[in-house]
Amino acid sequence: MAKAKKKINIKMRFNILTFFTYIIGIVLIAKLFNLQIVHGAEYREESNTRLTRESILEAERGEILDRTGIQLVTSDMKFSLEMYKTKVDTQTLNNSILNMVNVLEKYNISYSDAFPISTNPFEYKISDEELQKWKQNNKIDENATAEQAFYKFKDKYEIQNTDINEIAKIIAIRYQITKEGYSSTKALTISNNIPREAVSEFSESSEKFAGINISVKPIRSYTSGNLASHILGYASRIDADEYEQRKETYSPNDIIGKTGIEYVFEEYLKGRNGTKQIDMAVDGTTTAEYIAEEAISGSDIVLTIDANLQRITENALAANIQKIASGGFGTPSDTKAGACVVMNVNTGEVLAMASYPDYTPSDFVGTISNENWAKYRDNEAKPLVNRAIQNSYSPGSTFKMVTAIAGLESGVINTSTLINDVGQYKKYKDYQPKCWYYTDYHVGHGYLNVSGAIEKSCNYFFYETSDRMGIDTLVKFAKYFGLGTKTGIELRGETSGQLSSKETKQKLHPKEPTWGPGDTLQSAIGQFDNEFSPVQMARYISMLANGGKKIDVSIVKTIRNSDGSEVSKEEINKFISQKLGVEDNNSDNINISQGNLDSVLQGMQSVTGDSGGTAYVRFKDFNISVGGKTGSAEAPGNKVHAWFVGFAPFENPEIAVVVVVENGRHGNYTAEVVRDIMQEYFGMNVQNIEEDMSAIPYTEIF
């Protein structure tokens, strides 16, 4: 009986479940009938007129600041003009593009025009080599004129307009679409930094602009013009190869660091993009938008440089080069370029770094124009090269302190040793070099100790010293001072330079690989194969000034995340090691005798402080005691590069300053740059202003 009841209950529950399933099925069928039959046309029309697109909400790129917090690079939120693919015919698309470009030109807004043909007259805007490849890629006859190629693109894009200027405007955008692509969900950026007046015009007449969308994007702003351009570098639109490597985290319209700090710290500066949903009709009209995920700003990079000192350094270097070129020190010289580095002798922090000529980073924001690119590309002075780290030069007599230290520490001379400069070094029959003093005045310097030899820059003294100790000892000490190895500064493209040695000769002079006595003599005065970058030289002079202690060169003080935290120095060093590689200075640690150092430094003080010093005329009335050394290094093409290296204050050194001017002729000329920089660093410019003001009568001041 119990079993029978149980079967009845199960059967009842099954029937009830079947009944409700039947009812739900009827409801669903009715709903489907309502959607497809009753309101089908209405819903189909609505779905065909609405598209939901996901748009990237670009994160603000991190700022780059000087050591005091002054903004050098920031991001301004600006309107950008984007274009989506829409379901319109070709003629409507072309008309929409023409309308859009006319508005841009009305407000003097630049837009990308990479089409390599200009009109009035018709001509190609790219090199012959590039042109040949371009014609092949675009299936243009190799003999086609610029005009013929232009009209082939007119036909390709089915442009019905007859005015050449209008055709060119349409082709410019259609060509960009062909190159970069766009879709109903992926926008093509047409132009950045759109003024509000243009935004209003686009919005008020949206029916004239198929697929147009105005977005707000962070645009890179270099707030101090050309200041520190080689340090900061620039960020520009990501290219095809870069995008292919980073497509998981970048969009085709993103900007990316290309050079300088912008490149090296891209991963920190970029931040994390958010997303925005956009509802658009098929004709391109935006109907609604909302934020799906917030963007997170990039980290700020705080540099070791001081913006004011950087400006003084750049101005002083530029003025000095122009003065030398115009004959301000005598005969005019064909000089166009140079570099300067200011370094804290105790920490290795770069306080200023200048390379002349410089460039304008804002020229590269978005995409650089053909005219601006040609200006940089064709400039024989190569303004995009950072000469402070990327170029190396023979150091000339500024190397003599290395020879002096090596001689003293190895014991072949001591602080009291006197060597008689008779003018010409005649120990070897096949090579008998002369001291510069003998060449100019036909007599030698006579007897000199090591301090006097540095003061007078006596070649003969260092010929004899190097001959006594040999090249291997000289190389050992040069390596200890970091010469011929990268400093590890946080910038791409640093050169190792080269240190004159037996190994270097075998590599560079395979036809004459055997080392000879003359090679040692030349190397001892900073010639032969010796070539070092200005930043290497700044490290070397800093080590002389700080008692011979090794230092790590740096131009980045810290990194601040958007949440206020700071990145550890260990993490930064690890990051730099992975991105740039680290070239270790594997030289043995050397405890240089302070007495030996003092004798060398005393010679450097005499260079600027004694009437017989080679830079005395530049520092004779200077308020601070300076240690320095001039150098004039022979270079290919019958050129003489001019060096000055110095540190101050002599009694308790704080900074080292190194300057080189290509074909500057005499290191004495470049000492003016160092003097001007030290005046700024030690506050002497303020003092001079106060003195000048005190001389003005009270009534004239007010």
CA distance 358 to 322: 14
- Is the distance from CB of 497 to CB of 455 less than 8 angstroms? no
Query: What is the band of 687 on the pLDDT scale with cuts at 50, 70, 90?
Result: very low
Mean pLDDT across the chain: 89
* CB hemisphere CA count around 519 (13 angstroms): 21
pLDDT score for 9 = 54
Mean pLDDT of 240-259: 88
Residue 5 reports pLDDT greater than 70: no
Query: What is the band of 35 on the pLDDT scale with cuts at 50, 70, 90?
Result: very low
pTM of the predicted protein model: 0.79
Query: What is the band of 25 on the pLDDT scale with cuts at 50, 70, 90?
Result: low
CATH number, domain 50-77+220-303, options 2.60.120.10, 3.40.50.11540, 3.40.50.620, 3.90.1310.10? 3.90.1310.10
Residue 518 reports pLDDT greater than 70: yes
Residue 423 reports pLDDT greater than 80: yes
Q: Rounded to a whole number, what is the largest CA-CA distance in the chain?
A: 139
Mean pLDDT of 514-522: 97
Residue 1 reports pLDDT greater than 90: no
pLDDT score for 302 = 98
CB count within 10 Å of CB 214 equals 16
For residue range 177-187, list pLDDT tens digits in order.
998 888 877 78
CA distances from 232 to 77, 261, 595, 662 (A): 20, 5, 41, 23
**Residues written for the chain:** 702
pLDDT score for 283 = 58
| Least confidently predicted of 105-114, 555-564, 691-700 | 691-700
Residue 413 reports pLDDT greater than 90: yes
Q: DSSP readout, 492-528?
A: TT----B--SHHHHHHH-TTS-S--HHHHHHHHTT-T
20 CB-contact burial (10 Å; exposed 0-12 / middle 13-18 / buried 19+): exposed
Residue 240 reports pLDDT greater than 90: no
pLDDT score for 154 = 96
pLDDT score for 560 = 97
Residue 213 dihedral angles phi and psi, to the nearest 5°: -140, 135
* Pair of tokens at residue 553: 């060169």
| Least confidently predicted of 251-255, 399-403, 441-445, 471-475 | 251-255
Mean pLDDT of 434-450: 96
CA distance 157 to 188: 18
For residue range 463-487, list pLDDT tens digits in order.
999 999 999 999 999 999 999 999 9
Mean pLDDT of 599-625: 94
pLDDT score for 26 = 57
Residue 695 reports pLDDT greater than 50: no
**Is the C-alpha dihedral spanning 544, 550, 554, 560 positive or negative?**
negative
Residue 46 reports pLDDT greater than 90: no
pLDDT score for 230 = 98
* Pair of tokens at residue 67: 């050591």
Mean pLDDT of 488-517: 96
Quote the percentage of the chain above a pLDDT of 70.
88
- Residue 61 has what DSSP assignment? P
pLDDT score for 2 = 46
Query: What is the band of 658 on the pLDDT scale with cuts at 50, 70, 90?
Result: very high
Mean pLDDT of 28-40: 50
Q: Where in the chain is the domain with CATH 3.90.1310.10?
A: 50-77+220-303
Quote the percentage of the chain above a pLDDT of 90.
72
Mean pLDDT of 64-85: 92
CB count within 10 Å of CB 80 equals 21
The SS3 assignment for 191 reads strand
| Least confidently predicted of 289-298, 407-416, 550-559 | 289-298
Residue 647 reports pLDDT greater than 70: yes
The label of the residue with tokens 């202003």 reads 689
For residue range 337-388, list pLDDT tens digits in order.
999 999 999 999 999 999 999 999 999 987 788 888 989 999 999 999 999 9
Query: What is the band of 684 on the pLDDT scale with cuts at 50, 70, 90?
Result: confident
CA angle at residue 179 from 176 to 184, to 5 degrees?
A: 75
pLDDT score for 184 = 79
The SS3 assignment for 271 reads coil
Residue 669 reports pLDDT greater than 90: yes
pLDDT score for 112 = 81
More confident residue, 516 or 193: 516
- Residue 393 has what DSSP assignment? B
Residue 688 reports pLDDT greater than 80: no
| Least confidently predicted of 1-15, 373-387, 569-583, 608-622 | 1-15
